[in-house]
Structure 1
Amino acid sequence: TRDPATRKPVMVFIHGDSYMAGTGNMMDGSVLASYGDVIVVTLNYRLGAL
């Protein structure tokens, strides 16, 4: 069972690339999370107008 009082480190990946292109999917956090016992967060955001 998981103990809710146990804390884990959180790593957040925000893609860069000069605001021209990119995606949060460039980083597969599952490998890092399984080996490092961390929570990995990736996100996507809009780079231009709709």
Structure 2
Amino acid sequence: MSTDPSGGDIYDELDSSVTRTDAKFRHLFAEAGLEVVRSESQTGFPKGLGL
């Protein structure tokens, strides 16, 4: 998930990936007619990564 303070997408020039906020993902899913039925936070990341 994107941690951009302004809620923007984060583009990675090296691998052309896009990181989006939870709200943006949910909006895209809703536009596609999909429903989120379950979600959970992933834990265990090293503190130094700021995730």
TM-score computed with the length of structure 2 as normaliser: 0.27
Q: Which structure features the higher share of strand residues?
A: 1
TM-score computed with the length of structure 1 as normaliser: 0.27
